[in-house]
């Protein structure tokens, strides 16, 4: 079955251009010109959403908030399309749960490459082995890797996908200093063009959820991070 992509933009020319080129790549394409319509079509559970930020009535940021609140749509990867260029805007988008951030004016070749990368990453994740070795215990933290679940001091703690994968990578490499670039390549993939600040945002969110255990993750200034808890 072909992958289904939902394209959302209030500019009809952009939607038509993306639809044409995605269908040439044998993707099935749904289209919407408003945030409200995007949420309706998201109930069909497309495999990926290309979402414009600057739309009237309901912008892309608001759409992502609603997607992440809905159990049926919270795991759908979202790639933002935007003319907004500030680092602050990018950080806000990432914190809301977007998987990538593509600047306008759009390059069809770049978008197709990002889409392929997102799907390759998803396929890699689904192949994770279901074995006892995938239960990781460090001090009061217990991580079930295949189930994407974690418990801290006997309490369940919920992490969005990228935060979870970042935490798992650090824990599996505990005691080692991992550079920001290394984390980006391990979690997002080598061909995904996101900034180092992406890692800082996710680390901050992870620490917030770890609460009094936040110092498990140590910042190595100018280099990256290290998970320093003892086994």
User: Is there a single domain that holds both residue 20 and residue 119?
Assistant: yes
Per-residue pLDDT tens over the stretch 158-169: 888 888 889 999
User: Is there a single domain that holds both residue 143 and residue 189?
Assistant: yes
DSSP 3-state percent helix, strand, coil across the chain (nearest 5) = 45, 20, 35
Q: Which of 94, 126, 158 is the last residue of a domain?
A: 126
Look at phi and psi of residue 160 and say left if phi exceeds 0, alpha if psi is from -120 to 50, else beta.
beta
pLDDT of residue 26 exceeding 50, the answer is yes
Write the DSSP assignment of 102-115 as a string of letters: EESSP-HHHHHHHH
Percent of the chain residues topping a pLDDT of 90: 40
Residue 123: the pLDDT is 60
CATH number at residue 202: 1.10.10.10
Give the phi and the psi of residue 203 in degrees, each rounded to 5: -65, -45
Residue 58 — pLDDT band, cuts 50, 70, 90?
A: very high
Residue 196 — pLDDT band, cuts 50, 70, 90?
A: low
Residue 27: the pLDDT is 97
Residue 112: the pLDDT is 92
Judge contact between 97 and 160, C-beta under 8 A. yes
User: Is there a single domain that holds both residue 82 and residue 24?
Assistant: yes
3-state secondary structure of 44: coil
The secondary structure of residue 18, as a DSSP letter, is H
221, exposed or middle or buried, with CB in 10 Å at 0-12, 13-18, 19+? exposed
User: Is there a single domain that holds both residue 12 and residue 122?
Assistant: yes
List b or e across 191-209, with b for residues whose CB sees 16 or more CB atoms inside 10 angstroms.
ebebeeebbbbbbebbeee
Residue 181: the pLDDT is 84
User: Is there a single domain that holds both residue 121 and residue 171?
Assistant: no
103, exposed or middle or buried, with CB in 10 Å at 0-12, 13-18, 19+? middle
User: Is there a single domain that holds both residue 95 and residue 137?
Assistant: no
CATH number at residue 9: 3.40.50.2300
Mean pLDDT calculated for residue range 198-210: 89
Cα 168 from Cα 162, distance rounded (Å): 10
pLDDT of residue 194 exceeding 60, the answer is no
Query: Domain tally for the chain?
Result: 2
Q: Which of 126, 141, 170 is the last residue of a domain?
A: 126
User: Is there a single domain that holds both residue 83 and residue 175?
Assistant: no
User: Is there a single domain that holds both residue 9 and residue 105?
Assistant: yes
Q: How many other CB atoms are there within 10 angstroms of residue 42's CB atom?
A: 23
User: Is there a single domain that holds both residue 12 and residue 110?
Assistant: yes
User: Is there a single domain that holds both residue 122 and residue 52?
Assistant: yes
Range(s) of the domain holding residue 44: 4-126
User: Is there a single domain that holds both residue 121 and residue 136?
Assistant: no
Q: Which of 126, 145, 174 is the last residue of a domain?
A: 126
Per-residue pLDDT tens over the stretch 63-115: 998 998 888 898 888 988 887 655 555 556 666 667 777 888 888 998 998 89
Residue 40: the pLDDT is 96
User: Is there a single domain that holds both residue 57 and residue 159?
Assistant: no
Judge contact between 117 and 90, C-beta under 8 A. no
């Amino acid at each position: 079955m072909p992958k289904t992509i939902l394209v959302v933009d209030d500019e009809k020319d952009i939607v038509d251009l993306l639809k044409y080129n995605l269908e040439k790549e044998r993707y099935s394409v749904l289209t919407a010109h408003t945030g409200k319509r995007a949420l309706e079509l998201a109930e069909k559970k497309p495999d990926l959403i290309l979402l414009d930020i600057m739309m009237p009535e309901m912008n892309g940021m608001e759409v992502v908030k609603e997607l992440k609140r809905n159990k049926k749509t919270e795991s759908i990867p979202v790639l933002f399309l935007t003319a907004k260029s500030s680092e602050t805007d990018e950080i806000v988008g990432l914190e809301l749960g977007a998987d990538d951030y593509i600047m306008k004016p759009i390059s069809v070749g770049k978008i197709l490459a990002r889409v392929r990368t997102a799907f390759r990453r998803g396929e890699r994740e689904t192949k994770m082995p279901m074995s006892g070795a995938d239960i990781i215990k460090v001090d009061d933290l217990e991580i079930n890797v295949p189930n994407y679940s974690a418990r801290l001091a006997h309490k369940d703690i919920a992490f969005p996908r990228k935060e979870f994968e970042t935490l798992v990578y650090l824990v599996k490499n505990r005691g080692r200093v991992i550079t920001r670039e290394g984390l980006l390549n391990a979690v997002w993939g080598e061909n995904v063009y996101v900034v180092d600040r992406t890692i800082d945002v996710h680390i901050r969110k992870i620490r917030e959820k770890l609460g009094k255990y936040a110092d498990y993750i140590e910042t190595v200034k100018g280099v990256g991070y290290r998970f320093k808890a003892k086994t």
